[in-house]
Every structure is written in C-alpha cells, then in structure tokens.
Structure 1
Amino acid sequence: MAIELNMMILGHVIQMKAESAPDKKCLIFERGEKPDVHLTYADLWKNTNKVAALLQEHGLKKGDKFAVMMRNHPEFLYAMTAGTLTGAISVPIDPRTKGEKLKYYLNNSEAKLVLITADLVENLKQILPDVPSVKAVYVNYMPWEKLPADSPYPILNQVMDGPEKMVGNHIEDPMHPMEIIYTSGTTGDPKGVVCANNRIAQYALMAQMVWKYQEDDVLYTGLSLTHGNAQAVTLMPGLVLERLVVLSERFTKSRLWDICRKFGCTTFSLLGGMATAIYSEPAKPNDADNPVKVVISAGTPRAIWEAFEKRFNVQILEWYAAVEGGFAYKPVGEGPVGSFGKPVPGLLEMKIVDENDNECPPNVIGELVSRPASGEPAHVEYYKNPEASKKKVRGGWLRSGDMAHTDENGYFFFDYRKGGGIRHNGDFVHPDYVEKVIAEHPDVTEVAVYGVPSAGGAPGELDVVAAIVPVDRAKLNLGSIYAKCRKELETNFVPSYLQVLEEIPKTISEKPQERFLIDLFEKRKEDVYTEERAKRG
C-alpha cells in the first residue's frame, strides 16, 4: 500500500519532483576540465532507487547504518537519499579521514556497509580488519578511470549501470533519523549528531525566510556534502524549492569566480577561513565582474569584510549555526560589520552567559547559549552518548562552546572557541586582523593565525604564529612580511613566528586544524622563522 508523501522526508521530495517535473534539471556536478554531470529529478529518483535496492540486498533494515566516504559526486547524493527510502541511516565521512579516526567513525556508528571512491580505498583497507560491523564495501570509479578486472570489492558503477530497480518510499515518520554527522572532535572523540529527516523542511524554510532565494537564483557550493553547511544552505533548499544547484568536487579558491561565471551562479556559501583564502588570491581586473549577488557566510573576518564586498562586487549575509542547533543571522545591509546578527524572532532565544550562567552585559565575553523561543528545553542526540547529550543541553540551554559577546543593540559577535583565544602580552589578539595584513602580501597565497604557549612561560599567555603558504617558496621574502606587519599592526599583534608550509591542514569545513599546525610547529623547526631569523635569511 502506497504511503502518503511528505515534504519533510528527502526521498518523498525527490519522488514528488520526479513525478511533477521529471525533466527539470536540478543538479550540476562541475568537474573542471572533465565532463560535468547534469541531473534531472527523474535521474535522481531512478539512481536513488538503485542504491536503495543495493542496501536491501545486503540486509540493511530500518535503523541500520551505512557509511558514505567520497567527495561531492552524484553517488553521494544517491546514497544519502536511498537511506531515506528504506530507513537505513547514512553516515557521511570526511573523505580525508584515515587511520584511527576512520576506524572510530565506523566502529562507533556500527556501519554495516561502506560506499567509497577508488582514490580512498587504501585508507579504508588499512583499518577494515578492526571494524567487524562492516560486511560489504562498494567502490565507485570516476568515468575517466578504467574499471579493474579483479577488484577485491564489488564495483558501484556496475550497480549504477545495471537494470532499473524500484524500491519506493517506506518511511512515514519525519522524525526518523536521516543521517549521523560527526563533529570535528576538537575537544575529544568526535560525537555523532543524529539528524532527523524533518531538517530538510527547516532548511527550505530558512531559504525562503533568511536566504530569500528567488526563482532565478543558481546556488553554488564547493563545501563537502559531509558537512552540514553544504546540505543546509545549498543542496536541500535547492532540491525542495527547485533552484538549480552547482557543486564542485571540493572547494577551490582559484576557480571559484570562473565557475560562478560559467554557470551563472548568483549565490554561494562560505565558512570563515575560506573568505581569507579567496581574498588572498592575486587581484584580477575582472574580480568584480561576476553574477554573484549574495555570499552567505559563516565567519567572514571583520577585518576583510568591506574590502571583500567591494573587490568582488558582492554583499555578505552573515549567519551562525552548528549541526547541534542554534541559529542567528544578519541580513544584508543591516547591523554592524563583524556581527552574525540576531536569532529569528519567535523561533529561538539566544544569550551570552558567564561561568555561573549569569547573563553577560554588552561587550562582555561569555559562552553563547540558546533554546527554543517557546521556553522548551533544547534537545541534542549524540549517537550512543547520552551523557554528552545531557551535558550539551544542561539547564535546558544548548551550550555552544563558542565564546561571544553582544553590543548595546543586541547584535551578536563571535570571539573564539571556548578554551581557545590568543592572549599575548595581556592583549587578546584578533587573528582576522593579522590574517588580513599577511594575506595582502604578494608572496602569500594562504594564511592561518593561531597561538602556542608563550616562550616566556607566562600563564595563560600565547605567542602568535602565522602559518603561511607561499606563492613561490624560492622567492619568499619573510623579512618584508614582518615589515608589513610592523607597519600595519599593533605591536602585540605582530606574529612571534612565521611558519612556512606547503598547505594548511583543515577540517572538512575549511577551518585550520590548530592541533596539526602545533604538531608541525614542534616537529619541523626548520619551517619556523622568528623575525630575527627572517632578517638573517
């Protein structure tokens, strides 16, 4: 017996769109010099059912988990949607994950099946003997890759090229879990956030109320689909509201504007470190000649905000959220630069509290907490971790772990992650100001600022480190970078060290990973330069 379709469940949405607008193009997976992939709703529905049938053939039932480990490819979306047909729960995994962390994700989620691209198989093979829950692995190859004749694992391409299957929708409850998204684990083991199907309706509502997508908008992202941002801002709203979505395999700062010009993209989503990386690119005469109207940003550094808007002829809509919850935004042209705005009236209550849960007055830094405006307690479910779930919503408030403040008009500003922040010689250093100055140097293509324990041993004090990726290491002039900092920064903001790297390690959300930077700082002293060493050459 057919079930009543519901716009709060992804599989239902795709079936409805495939029936009402089968030939409408909904997705473009752009692949640079390789052939792009264009998909209609009919394509998406047909291929989703093939993967759903595969899950059933391997005995995955409602509530069983399967992992998807790949970059932004069509098969990722087929798999995620297939789970919402059968009730199996997808576990998206950052494609850069390997070793103990990958083993942890698979064991903690109890994944029974893994869908993975060929370029990542070696990372999986190394830990698979220690993951007893995984009973099957399917490998996907790119169209330009030759399929092996003797693959040790079944090949997903052969499933996708095989006969059509029709599984259809079998889940009726929008609160049934759609996926488990793992946090980055900056303060311990990663925690799996259980995300219900009904989130897609929330994402579509945000797109109408907050992002204000118009009928002719073309949405773009290079953020990984394993991250909540790409799903919430771009993919899900596009599919529900029938806005064309363009996806890159990964974030590219060098090709970003050319991609937007090619496909007529009118908006894209950024996370903090990405804005600085884009701004660090050498200026071009046509920077402002692009179709983008609004950049939806979570963390544009205030130091480059206005310069970014002017250089690229765009407007920034700033917002704040986390996969666990909490939401605020600053509409284009409203409020002070640097603020992420205010919560949506009537939907969410948000405040800043001190260590005793007293609300902080304006301009005093404390932890950002939130709960529904109705006064109901906040709710978070970490998979198999009730203690962490309870701690996260202590007292009915969602504890963000983000340190922030408000101004006299109630606008919120992010300051640093709890337990983070750079205090140097008594001053709190704002990394974005340092990053702006260094990013504008012609020898630098990327920069990330962080802190290491003070060489002087002062408790709570940190020395400032600027990790940089040079345009050409052979021509890098570190002395001129220090000179620029001395000229344009307060004394305590000038880096104690410049760390020269081939690339900056980042999370899937493009945030620099400080623990890896610190590890490199300790192990590779030859790449670390004080101002005195830079002068010596």
Structure 2
Amino acid sequence: MAAHSSRTSPIPHTPTPDPAPRTIAELVRAQWGDHRIGLKHGESAVTHHQLAAGAAARAALLGELLPRDAEPHIGVLLDNVPEYPLWIGAAALAGAAVAGINPTRRGPELARDIAHTDCALLITERAHLPLLAGLDLPLPPERVLIVDDPAYQELLAPYGGARPDAIAAVPGGGGARTPGPATRLLLCFTSGSTGAPKAAICTQGRLAAAGHSLVRYFAVCPEDVHYLCMPMFHGNAVIAGWAPALAGGAAVALRRRFSASAFLPDVRRYGATYFTYVGRAVQYLLATPPAPDDRDNPLRTGFGTEAGAVDAARFADRFGVRLVEGYGSSEGGAALQRTEDTPPGAIGRPAPGDDLAVVDPATGAELPRARLDAAGRLLNGDRAIGELVNRGRSSFEGYWRNPEATAARTRGRAEGEAGAGWYWTGDLFFRDENGFFHFAGRADDRLRVDSENLAAAMIEDILARYAPAAGVAVYAVPDPVAGDQVMAALALRDGAAFDPDGFAAFLAAQPDLGTKMAPRFVRIVAALPVTATNKVHRVALRWAGFRCPEPVWWSPQNAPGTRATPAGSGHRPLYRPFTDEDRAALMAQYRDHDRGRLLDR
C-alpha cells in the first residue's frame, strides 16, 4: 500500500550528470528546431518547436503584463489543456513561477489560494469562470486571461515571433531574475493539519533533476508518449509526467480530466507508453467492463502511488502493464521506491542516497525494527512505530510565505540537537527486519480523499456552522481501496436531534465546501472524547472509525470519486443509518483489497 499524506509519485534521487540541462528553461530552449510531435490533445498535435515558440510568446507577454514591483507569479486555473504546459514553459523562460490553482476549491478559500501565492496574473478558461464569480480577487480584471476567449489570441498575436533564446527575464520584486537552477518555478499546494493549504516551492533545478532522474529510471526516449490524465495542478502530473517527457524529448498527451472509460481509447489513439496515476484512478480503470483486447495497448509503465498491491497485480494481469509504486512528496523531502522484492503491505526502500529512518518524534532516536508474525501482523508496534525522517541531504525548498510550516518540516532544532536539519515527513512508519518501510498512519490530521489532500481543521470550521452541533471533530477512516474517507463526529446541542436531510441541505449551501470535503460517515456522540489536556482525542475517534457504539449515518453514494456536494450544483449527499448489513458489506471490500488491517491501528 502507498502512503496517504501530501504525496505525489516517488522521484528516484540519483545524481544528475553535469552535461544535462540544469533548468527547465534550458530544456524548453532545446525544443526549438525539433519538428517531431511534442503534444497531443484531442484531434490536435503540435511539435516541440511549436511548444517552444508558444512558450516564448507567452513569456514575452509576461514582460508586458506583470507589474515591476510584484512577485512574478502566475496563477493557472485550467484543466489539462495545451495552455497549461505552455505557461509552465513560459514561466521557466521568464524566470517566473506558476501556482497551480485547484478547481475543487470553493469561495473564499479559492480566493485565498490566489492571494497567498501573490499571483499577479491569473490564467483560466470559460469553464472555470463561475468559480471566480463574486470573489474578492487580489488582481484587476485585465490581468485575468481567459485562454478560450478571442481577446486572448489578439493579446498574444504581437509576440508570435518571439524566440526562446531571446526572452528577457521578467521583473519581479524590484528586479529581473535570470532563470537559474535556484529560480522558483512551481508553487504546489499541499495541505496540512493547520488549516489552509501550504504552497511548496519547487525550483527549476529540482524539477529538471527530477525529470532527468525519471528519464534514467524508466529509460524514457523520444519515441515515448506520456499520457497525462491526472490534473496538472498536482505535482504528480508535472513532476512525474511532464518533466521526464521534456527531459527525454518525449511527447505528452493531455486528457482534460481523468476518464476511466476514455483511458484505453486515448492510450491507443495517442500511442501512449507511460502514464501517471494517484490513488483510486487504478480502481476506476479496473471497474470498467473487461474486454478481450484489454492487453492490446502500447503502454509500458504506469507510475504513481496509492494503487495498492492487490489492484496493481489486477491491473498488470488485465492490461499487461506494470505499475511502479512508491512514496514521495511534492516538497521533495523523502522518497521510497517499491522494488520487485517488496513484500505485501510495505512501501519499499529508500531512494539511492537517502538516509531515511523511523524515529521517536520526541527524541529523534531511531526505533527498533518491527517484528511481524507469519500473517504479517505487527507484534511490537508500541516500540517500532515512529515518524519517518530523512537524516541526509533533502531537496525540500520550503513553503511560500509560511516560515512556521517550513520550520516544522525541519523542526527548527538547534545545531547538534537530535533531528536538527532533518526532513520530518509527518507520516508514521515502521521498518521491518529486511529494511522495508511500512506506512502506519499520520502524525497530524490530514486526510487524502480521491487523491486530494484535505485538512481536518478546514472541514471542521465549515461543519461548525451547523446550528444543531455543539462540537465537531473531523478525521480520516481508511478507504477500502486507497486513501481516506471523511468521517465527522457531531456532539449535538441539548434537545437537538440529527436530521439527515437538514444536514445534507446545510452542506449543499456552504460556498467553501470543496467537492471532496462532505463527510461520508457521521457519528452522533453525546460529547466529543478529549485528552487529559482537554484536546479532542482524534486518535480514539480514528481507531473506532465507523465501528462504534453510537449511531452512525452514512452516504453510500458520497464515496471518493463522486462529485461530493459542490456548492450551487443542486446535488447533495443522501444520508441514511449505517446498518450491520452495511458494515458487513463494507468490511468485505476492505478484505478484498487487503486493507482490513488499516482499521485495526
């Protein structure tokens, strides 16, 4: 099984040879003059040369539009359309940075993401304009560019002759920034337990190194086609899909949004040899009706996380495609790689050059290896489970305008103190006697639902508006297939009773409730359990999950992968009592995917 926190696909950490381009800007410039197909989307195809020219035109436009005293940051609120990689390439050439804006966010939280990353320009499309309606955006309307509006093409037209080798660095914060390995290129949002998402910094050097590393790891060549069906605001698609294609001279094929039914037709039409995935995407593909020609496809490899050993084996058997699983982070702090000899239930071993360990979070002391019985059950969890840290050199580059979160990752310990300078993942692991790492939970209150990282505190803030509730706690319960499901415990006010229809109506009316935030399970308690320091005892709630003595209501259709209560959509989850029969059927799903042990933590 793969880990759950702010994870994208694992990136093998191997040294980059000196001759390899050290920046994404260099890789974009190298496309100039290459007239092979570089990008496929729908019925259209463009060459590498055209991509370089398009990136140069947009980079030149940046020099005109960006205020000289602003950070050179571009918010990109797009589905997977050709404009997305073009603007990443433009930012690279101009020494600017792209903040991937998540379209599943809503209302003030969406506006907050744009403001927090100091976006001086916002690139979007007509389909997403309703998300921006009525928001207090931190930039004027003339700096919101709509890529499928004719005015956008008119704006770009004067820069059509720009060459990538002649682009000047755009001004930002008072001075121009010539692109180099240390130049910011991506601001990737990732969630934590503190509430608002954090924007992890990824420089041109780190992204280029990741691309080169994956080229070597997967032997990427110019004849390959990387199918990008995961959203490009995630690190998965950009770091694990687009960057190695760029570094290896391969083409990319874009799918606007993931579609299980369109997957194989797309793969065959585009001649895709490689794809990236996160979490339940693999399960959705397995849920499509089998066909006798399923193995008739050009795919060689799928690369990602959270598919799970059971589904990975099913995928290989059905489609003839090997899935490479592992553990990594958008922050670049630690990585684990799954190998052929990785046992069931384990993630893998450290990437080459990493010094990963499981330590006591309080002291930094390395914990003893885990002892497992013949059935794979952990026998010494009280001594073996701790936090995963990287004690060696980390490529973590910090969070944008969040020194507290940055310090928390390195713990801000004094020089010489145990743990000083380490990268602390915030995830709990144990390590077996053969050196394989096993995921054991999270050290904070993050949830990962349908490949989206959510913060419990944010959902709690929304549910706290529910008038009958005197107290609210939100926590994760493992999904039967991958990631988590949202569960909420509600302590009701005196005299109040839980009204499932009223609760569903309340959720549908919340403008900042994201599409994946609605609880699937609701536990009604007399009072929230607390610790000795009067904090909500979330560990106890997670351990009990839906197997608790109090009444539980659930929304069977509100599972990960469904459109869960988008504001203004008219859809709402339907809650009904969670019966013994429901519990038995759900437990069978856990057993079928070898995930029942996650309920026994």
Q: TM-score range by the shorter chain?
A: 0.7 to 0.9
Match of residue 430 from structure 2: 405
Match of residue 486 from structure 1: none
Q: CA contact under 8 A between 2:520 and 2:555: conserved in structure 1? A: no
Q: CA contact under 8 A between 1:221 and 1:247: conserved in structure 2? A: yes
TM-score, scaled to structure 2: 0.67
Gap regions ≥5 residues in structure 1: 142-146, 149-154, 423-427, 436-447, 466-490, 507-511, 518-522
For residue 82 of structure 1, the aligned residue among 82, 90, 108 is 90
Please tell me the residue identity of whatever aligns with 1:405: F
Find the aligned partners of 2:481 and 2:79 in 1 and give their Cα distance: 32
Find the aligned partners of 1:191 and 1:212 in 2 and give their Cα distance: 33
Match of residue 202 from structure 1: 209
Cα 1:95–1:528 shift into 2, 3 Å: same
What is the DSSP-based 3-state SS (H/G/I as helix, E as strand, rest coil) of the residue aligned with 2:349? coil
Cα 1:301–1:450 shift into 2, 3 Å: farther
1:246 is the counterpart of 2:253: yes
Aligned pairs for 1:132-281 (under 5 A) are 132=139, 136-141=143-148, 155-161=151-157, 164-166=160-162, 168=167, 170=169, 171-185=178-192, 187-214=194-221, 216-281=223-288
Match of residue 13 from structure 1: 27
What is the DSSP-based 3-state SS (H/G/I as helix, E as strand, rest coil) of the residue aligned with 1:82? helix
For residue 368 of structure 1, the aligned residue among 384, 388, 401 is 388
What is the DSSP-based 3-state SS (H/G/I as helix, E as strand, rest coil) of the residue aligned with 2:62? helix
- Aligned residues, how many? 454
For residue 298 of structure 1, the aligned residue among 297, 300, 305 is 305
Find the aligned partners of 2:319 and 2:288 in 1 and give their Cα distance: 12
Q: Larger deviation: 247-256 or 323-332? A: 323-332
1:383 is the counterpart of 2:400: yes
1:222 deviates by 0.4
Q: CA contact under 8 A between 1:183 and 1:193: conserved in structure 2? A: yes
1:377 deviates by 6.7
Match of residue 75 from structure 2: 67
For residue 97 of structure 1, the aligned residue among 101, 105, 112 is 105
Find the aligned partners of 2:53 and 2:348 in 1 and give their Cα distance: 42
Find the aligned partners of 1:225 and 1:433 in 2 and give their Cα distance: 23
Please tell me the residue identity of whatever aligns with 2:87: A
Q: Larger deviation: 405-414 or 328-337? A: 328-337
Find the aligned partners of 2:427 and 2:217 in 1 and give their Cα distance: 22
What is the DSSP-based 3-state SS (H/G/I as helix, E as strand, rest coil) of the residue aligned with 2:358? strand
1:355 is the counterpart of 2:375: no
Cα 1:528–1:296 shift into 2, 3 Å: farther
Q: CA contact under 8 A between 1:112 and 1:135: conserved in structure 2? A: no
Q: CA contact under 8 A between 1:63 and 1:87: conserved in structure 2? A: no
TM-score, scaled to structure 1: 0.75
Find the aligned partners of 1:499 and 1:118 in 2 and give their Cα distance: 32
Find the aligned partners of 1:291 and 1:228 in 2 and give their Cα distance: 25
Cα 1:359–1:370 shift into 2, 3 Å: same
1:39 is the counterpart of 2:39: no
Q: Deviations over 1:357-398 (max 9, x none)?
A: 2322233332221143xxx57743211111221111112121
Cα 1:407–1:279 shift into 2, 3 Å: farther
For residue 440 of structure 2, the aligned residue among 407, 415, 435 is 415
Q: Larger deviation: 131-140 or 242-251? A: 131-140
Please tell me the residue identity of whatever aligns with 1:370: N
Cα 1:291–1:331 shift into 2, 3 Å: farther
Match of residue 444 from structure 1: none
Find the aligned partners of 1:10 and 1:85 in 2 and give their Cα distance: 8
Please tell me the residue identity of whatever aligns with 2:160: E
Cα 1:308–1:429 shift into 2, 3 Å: farther
Gap regions ≥5 residues in structure 2: 1-18, 170-177, 371-383, 412-419, 448-475, 484-517, 530-536, 567-571, 585-601
Please tell me the residue identity of whatever aligns with 1:80: I
What is the DSSP-based 3-state SS (H/G/I as helix, E as strand, rest coil) of the residue aligned with 2:283? helix
Cα 1:233–1:421 shift into 2, 3 Å: closer
Cα 1:331–1:530 shift into 2, 3 Å: closer
What is the DSSP-based 3-state SS (H/G/I as helix, E as strand, rest coil) of the residue aligned with 1:198? helix
Find the aligned partners of 2:113 and 2:201 in 1 and give their Cα distance: 13
1:27 deviates by 1.4
Cα 1:336–1:238 shift into 2, 3 Å: same
Cα 1:409–1:454 shift into 2, 3 Å: farther
Q: Deviations over 1:338-370 (max 9, x none)?
A: 433222232x11111233223222333322211
What is the DSSP-based 3-state SS (H/G/I as helix, E as strand, rest coil) of the residue aligned with 2:122? strand
Find the aligned partners of 1:313 and 1:377 in 2 and give their Cα distance: 36
Q: CA contact under 8 A between 2:554 and 2:575: conserved in structure 1? A: no
**RMSD across aligned positions (CA):** 3.6
Find the aligned partners of 2:280 and 2:309 in 1 and give their Cα distance: 12
Match of residue 127 from structure 2: 119
What is the DSSP-based 3-state SS (H/G/I as helix, E as strand, rest coil) of the residue aligned with 2:335? strand
1:118 deviates by 0.9
Find the aligned partners of 2:300 and 2:145 in 1 and give their Cα distance: 40
Cα 1:526–1:350 shift into 2, 3 Å: same
Q: Which has the higher contact order (CA 8 A, sep 6+)?
A: 2
Q: CA contact under 8 A between 1:378 and 1:398: conserved in structure 2? A: no
Match of residue 526 from structure 1: 575
